[in-house]
Amino acid sequence: MSSTFLATRDPDGNRAEGPGQKLKRARERLGLKFRDVEIASQTIARRHSNDEFAIALSRLADIENKGTVPSLYRLYSLCSIYRLDLDDVLDWYGVRRAEMPGDAASVQHPATHLVNFRPAGSGEIQVPLALDPGMDISKTTYLSRMIQRWGKLPLMLMDRLDVRNRRYAFIGAEDWSMHPLLAPGSLVMIDESRKKILSTGWSTEFDRPIYFLEHRTSYLCGWCSLEDNTLTVFGHPSQSKGPSAFAYPSQIDVIGQVTAVAMRFDLSRRRRTRS
């Protein structure tokens, strides 16, 4: 059974144009008939050797006039034929790719994991910390009025946040290995250019490099030492878990060094659950 997307009403109470009508206008602007779209979609289907990309006349009519939601393949074909941006058309249907990281952050996973989202064209992403863009992050500031709930974080903040040249990861909701330096649920930024395990150069635990690593079955985050071909991962001494040793590089990969963190401090409920 196919789903439908009906037109809504704007704030003034007028009937808003639905996504089907917007697609119809895009077709009409190009002077295309239903048959033209059907033939064009068949060309795309042949290019991909997949009939799911083809759009029959009756299906196109339902999409435009009855609010039928096109499949992912047909939506791709329509965007290709009409020269539309796929993210814009997804937004017409209420699917906003820029909100995926924020939605993902609202779903807690016990295991530490990488974040593989990339920004949409707007240049901003959803992360678990939003700061007033007017604040001066170079100065100590009273944040109670400036820290907002999950929202959009301009890429210029958090040490020039750059999702194209950095990797991001969430510390698992049950990963206490580096607490209190890295609380469970923290968002960390990883510099992939810093893979070398350093053995000197710090005087306190706050200066010691923290590395993000990938094992066969999991991700790890912690201090590291490398001796011969053995890489040892250390957690924070306040935790009871001892160090873990791996053959390097056959058993474990160094993704990079953690260079920034955004984390929450309301861990009392988790702490009670953990005990």
Among 8-12, 112-116, 188-192, 240-244, the range scoring the smallest mean pLDDT is 8-12
CATH of the domain at 57: 1.10.260.40
**Mean pLDDT over each residue of the chain, to the nearest integer:** 80
pLDDT of residue 58: 96
Last residue of a domain, one of 92, 115, 136: 92
In a domain, 104, yes or no: yes
Q: Does the pLDDT value for residue 86 go beyond 70? A: yes
Residue 236, pLDDT above cutoff 60: yes
3-state helix, strand, coil in the chain (%, to 5): 30, 20, 50
Could you tell me if 64 and 109 lie in one domain?
Answer: no
Contact between residue 217 and residue 187 where contact means Cβ atoms under 8 Å apart: no
The mean pLDDT of 96-124, rounded to a whole number, is 75
Total domain count for the chain? 2
The Cα 258–Cα 186 span in angstroms is 12
Can you give the residue range of the structural domain that contains 117?
Answer: 99-125+160-274
| pLDDT recorded at residue 257 | 94
> Is the domain of 61 the same as that of 194?
no
Q: Are 51 and 120 contained in the same domain?
A: no
Asked if 108 and 214 sit in the same domain, the reply is yes
Q: Do the Cβ atoms of 209 and 259 come closer than 8 Å?
A: no
Residue 14: inside a domain: no
Same domain, 74 and 110: no
Among 70, 92, 114, residue at a domain's last position: 92
For the ranges 6-10, 225-229, 271-275, the lowest mean pLDDT is seen at 271-275
Q: Which of 69, 92, 115 is the last residue of a domain?
A: 92
Q: Which of 6-20, 83-97, 128-142, 158-172 has the lowest mean pLDDT?
A: 128-142
Helix boundaries (H) for the chain? 19-29, 34-48, 57-65, 72-82, 86-92, 100-105, 157-160, 268-274
Answer whether residue 71 is part of any domain. Answer: yes
State whether residue 169 is helix, strand or coil: strand
The pLDDT score that the predictor gives to residue 121 is 52
Q: How far is Cα 219 from Cα 206, in angstroms, rounded to an integer?
A: 22
Do 234 and 110 lie in one domain? The reply is: yes
